[in-house]
C-alpha cells in the first residue's frame, strides 16, 4: 500500500470533447439529480459515461462492493476516459479501499474527484498510487439545478486550464485562528472519515503537509472528540498548516462549534485559517489533494499549484 513518497503524479488536463466517467462508490444517486448534474458537465464540453453499477443499491447484496470496485477499475482501465467524477456521498467507500488496484491507477493516471465519504478513497488512491486526487463538488449532490452555483461550476475551470488557484477573502470571509505561513502538499477532507482512517493503511499522513478539515451536521462535542483523537494520534505534530472548510451545522450549534475550533487551534504553532468554501457548502470549490500549496495569514490566503499537467 505504501506509495506516497517523492513527486506526486498529476493527471492530464481536460479538453472540451473529452470523455469522463460518473461512478457512485458511496451509494446510488437520485436519477433526476444525476441527470441534472450530467447536463452541467456536458455544458462544460464533456462527454459523460455512466458507470455500469451507478444505481446499484442494497439489492445487489454481497456483490455490491465488488460492483463498485469494478466501476472504479473500468473507468481507470478505459484509455478514452480522462476523468472520474463521483455522483454523491453516502457511506461504505472505506470497504473499497483494500480491493482497489493501485498499480492500475498509477499506470493510468486520470482525475478522480469527490468528497465527503469519498475522502477515504481520495486518501487511499493518493497514497496507494501516488496520484493527485481532487476534493470537489459531486455530480448529483452539487451540480443539480437547485444546488449548483457559478462558484461551484467555476472551480472545474483549473482542470482545463492547468492554472494555479488562489483562495482569499474575495471567495469567502476567511478568519485566522493561528498566524503564520506554511507550505506543503494538501491532504485531508472530511473529519469523520479522517478519524475513521486512523490505524489503517489508509490513514492520512500529515508530516510537512497542509491539512484540510471539513464536516457536516456534527455537534460540537463530536467535533471536539474527533479533533482530540487526531491530536493524540500525532496528526498535528508536524503539519505546516490547517485549512478549515465548511462545518455546516445547525444554527443553534454554530457558536459551540466556533468555540471548539478556537479553543483547539488558537495556540497552534502553525497557521490555521477557517471558512474556506470546501465541503458541504455552496459554492463548493474543488482543490487538488497532493498538490503543493502555501497558506498565509497576513492577509489570510491559500495558493494552490495546479493538480493537472
Is-contact 218 196, C-beta < 8 A? no
Which pLDDT value is given to residue 7?
Answer: 85
Give the residue from 143, 160, 177 where a domain finishes.
160
The verdict on whether 107 is a catalytic residue reads: no
**172: DSSP letter:** S
Is-contact 138 40, C-beta < 8 A? no
Give the residue from 160, 194, 216 where a domain finishes.
160
Per annotation, catalytic residue among 116, 129, 141, 172: 116
Per annotation, catalytic residue among 123, 129, 141, 214: 214
Domain count, the chain: 2
Q: Enter the pTM of the model.
A: 0.96
pLDDT digits (tens, 9 = 90+) for 194-204: 999 999 999 99
Per annotation, catalytic residue among 123, 280, 305, 306: 280
Which grid coordinates belong to 152? 461551484
Same domain, 156 and 172: no
Same domain, 178 and 296: yes
Which pLDDT value is given to residue 4?
Answer: 53
Is-contact 164 306, C-beta < 8 A? yes
Same domain, 267 and 227: yes
Q: What's the distance, CA 30 to chain centroid?
A: 21
Structural domain boundaries enclosing 170:
165-304
Residues 6 or more apart whose Cβ sits within 8 Å of residue 134: 111, 112, 113, 114, 122, 159, 286, 287, 288, 289, 307
Which grid coordinates belong to 184? 506543503
pLDDT digits (tens, 9 = 90+) for 247-263: 988 888 999 999 999 99
186 HSE (CA, 13 A, CB side) = 29
Which pLDDT value is given to residue 121?
Answer: 98
Which grid coordinates belong to 38? 450530467
Residue with cell 461504505: 92
Is-contact 252 220, C-beta < 8 A? no
Nearest to 22 by CA among 12, 9, 31: 31
The verdict on whether 43 is a catalytic residue reads: no
Does residue 245 surpass a pLDDT of 70?
A: yes
The verdict on whether 214 is a catalytic residue reads: yes
Mean pLDDT of the chain: 96
Q: What is the CATH number of the domain that holds 263?
A: 3.50.30.60
* Band of residue 130 on the pLDDT scale cut at 50, 70, 90: very high
Taking the C-alpha atoms of residue 211 and residue 137, their distance in angstroms, rounded to an integer, is 18
Amino acid at each position: 500500500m505504501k506509495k506516497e513518497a517523492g513527486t506526486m503524479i498529476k493527471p492530464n488536463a481536460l479538453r472540451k470533447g473529452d470523455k469522463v466517467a460518473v461512478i457512485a462508490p458511496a451509494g446510488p444517486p437520485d436519477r433526476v439529480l444525476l441527470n441534472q448534474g450530467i447536463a452541467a458537465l456536458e455544458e462544460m464540453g464533456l462527454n459523460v459515461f455512466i458507470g455500469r453499477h451507478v444505481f446499484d443499491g442494497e439489492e445487489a447484496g454481497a456483490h455490491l462492493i465488488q460492483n463498485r470496485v469494478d466501476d472504479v477499475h473500468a473507468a481507470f482501465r478505459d484509455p478514452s476516459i480522462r476523468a472520474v467524477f463521483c455522483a454523491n456521498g453516502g457511506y461504505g467507500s472505506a470497504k473499497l479501499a483494500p480491493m482497489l488496484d493501485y498499480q492500475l491507477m498509477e499506470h493510468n493516471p486520470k482525475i478522480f474527484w469527490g468528497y465527503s465519504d469519498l475522502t477515504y478513497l481520495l486518501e487511499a488512491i493518493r497514497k496507494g498510487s501516488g496520484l493527485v486526487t481532487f476534493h470537489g463538488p459531486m455530480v448529483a449532490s452539487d451540480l443539480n439545478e437547485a444546488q449548483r452555483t457559478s462558484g461551484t461550476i467555476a472551480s472545474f475551470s483549473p482542470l482545463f486550464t492547468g492554472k494555479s488557484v488562489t483562495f482569499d477573502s474575495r471567495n469567502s470571509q476567511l478568519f485566522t485562528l493561528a498566524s503564520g505561513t506554511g507550505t506543503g502538499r494538501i491532504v485531508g477532507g472530511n473529519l469523520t472519515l479522517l478519524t475513521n482512517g486512523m490505524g489503517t493503511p489508509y490513514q492520512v499522513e500529515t508530516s510537512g503537509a497542509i491539512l484540510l478539515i471539513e464536516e457536516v451536521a456534527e455537534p460540537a462535542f463530536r467535533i471536539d472528540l474527533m479533533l482530540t483523537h487526531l491530536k493524540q494520534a500525532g496528526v498535528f505534530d508536524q503539519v505546516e498548516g490547517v485549512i478549515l472548510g465548511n462545518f455546516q451545522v445547525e444554527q443553534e450549534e454554530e457558536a459551540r462549534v466556533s468555540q471548539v475550533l478556537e479553543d483547539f487551534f488558537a495556540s497552534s504553532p502553525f497557521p490555521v485559517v477557517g471558512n474556506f468554501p470546501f465541503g458541504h457548502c455552496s459554492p463548493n470549490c474543488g482543490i487538488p489533494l497532493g498538490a503543493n500549496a502555501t497558506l498565509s495569514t497576513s492577509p489570510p490566503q491559500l495558493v494552490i499549484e495546479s493538480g493537472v499537467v
